[in-house]
Amino acid sequence: MLTGKQKRFLRAEAHHLTPIFQVGKGGVNDEMTKSIRDVLEARELIKVRILDNCEEDKNDVAQALAKGARAELVQLIGLTVVLYKESRDNKKIILPKAAK
């Protein structure tokens, strides 16, 4: 679980990223979550854009993406989802320590 401080840090890190996945009419599927999982292993932090033609609720989509990719939902702002998952082999982002 991420702390508020860590989420703020990740939101700042994600600010300049461009979304690399899009959720459209078909919604979230296994193929997409598998791809997202692979990309998260390489990048740790990504943005996903929910298109206007997506028929599902944006909050449900964000939760489904996070669960399917086994990632943390950092932020849902407008139709953009920010996901974070610590990489096993490719660690780049050093999170602020959680306060004890």
The CATH number of whichever domain residue 67 belongs to comes to 3.30.110.60
Judge if pTM exceeds 0.85: yes
Per-residue pLDDT band for 96 (boundaries 50, 70, 90) equals confident
Q: Are 48 and 71 in contact (CB under 8 A)?
A: no
Whether 36 is in a domain gets the answer yes
Per-residue pLDDT band for 48 (boundaries 50, 70, 90) equals very high
**DSSP state, residue 16:** T
Residue 88: what pLDDT? Answer: 84
Whether 99 is in a domain gets the answer no
Report whether pLDDT(100) > 60: no
Whether 100 is in a domain gets the answer no
Task: Extract the runs of DSSP E, i.e. beta strands, from the chain.
Answer: 21-23, 45-50, 72-77, 80-84
Total residue count of the chain as it appears in this document? 100
The number of folded domains in the chain is 1
Cβ of 51: how many Cβ atoms within 10 Å? 10
Residue 91: what pLDDT? Answer: 83
3-state SS assignment for residue 100 = coil
CA 86/CA 100 separation, integer angstroms: 20
Identify the domain containing residue 25 by its residue range: 4-84
Residue 77: what pLDDT? Answer: 95
Per-residue pLDDT band for 49 (boundaries 50, 70, 90) equals very high
CA 42/CA 45 separation, integer angstroms: 9
